[in-house]
Amino acid sequence: MNAPDIRSDLRDAVRSIPDYPKPGIIFRDITTLLGDARAFRRTVDELVQPWAGAKIDKVAGIEARGFILGGAVAHQVSAGFVPIRKKGKLPHKRVSMTYALEYGEDVIEMHADALIKGEKVVLVDDLIATGGTAEAAIKLLHQLGAEVLAACFVIDLPDLGGAEKLRKLGVPVRTLFAFEGH
């Protein structure tokens, strides 16, 4: 089976829920993909395939679905795992980054000692929409001196422009498949 076929299989494993969490949003639910052993394994393999031979020091995962995927990827590439969390969840000394939402703003945090300057890091999350969350995560990683090798997502919503936004920051972006619209 070639790569596009594999990816359309994976795309079919995602459940789409209209008008969740609010009217007009189609929620792309990856729990169905995660619950399918073959689809989960293939997703993890495919996510970091271009960097399979590279030395990766840390995989950073964005709360919460990025923890599930990022933990599996970290194991796969023999890297450490770094959680990027919502404000107020991490117990030790933190660094924070504020980013804009459609209405208002949000904050993500990392432990200040989660990385050593110069470490090579791959960022992982389930989905990229506007790219606001991932952009803030990349800024945090750069602030701690990391070299961000790539940002990897299972799902791209290209109409919202997030992947393009990250590429403009000079970070290679990998997505496995896309859904049109929001």
Q: Which two tokens stand for residue 138?
A: 């990349």
Interacting residue with ligand AMP among 7, 58, 65, 94 (CB under 6 A) = 65
Residue 102 is among the residues annotated as catalytic for this protein: yes
| Alpha carbons 26 and 1: distance in angstroms, whole number | 29
Of 7, 28, 42, 65, the catalytic one is 65
Neighbour tally for 173: CB within 10 Å = 20
Beta bridge partners of 164: none
For 168, half-sphere exposure in the C-beta direction (CA atoms, 13 angstrom radius) is 8
E strand or H helix that includes residue 150: strand 147-156
Number of residues this chain uses to bind ligand AMP (CB under 6 A): 17
Please list every residue from 89 through 108 that binds ligand AMP, using CB under 6 A: none
Binding part of the chain for ligand AMP, among 1-9, 22-30, 85-93, 141-149 by CB under 6 A, reads 22-30
Residue 119 is among the residues annotated as catalytic for this protein: no
Tell me if 133 contacts ligand AMP by CB under 6 A: yes
| Alpha carbons 57 and 180: distance in angstroms, whole number | 34
Length of the chain equals 182
Please list every residue from 43 through 62 that binds ligand AMP, using CB under 6 A: 62
Binding part of the chain for ligand AMP, among 26-34, 48-56, 67-75, 80-88 by CB under 6 A, reads 26-34
- Site for ligand AMP, rule CB under 6 A: 25-28, 62, 65, 125-134, 162
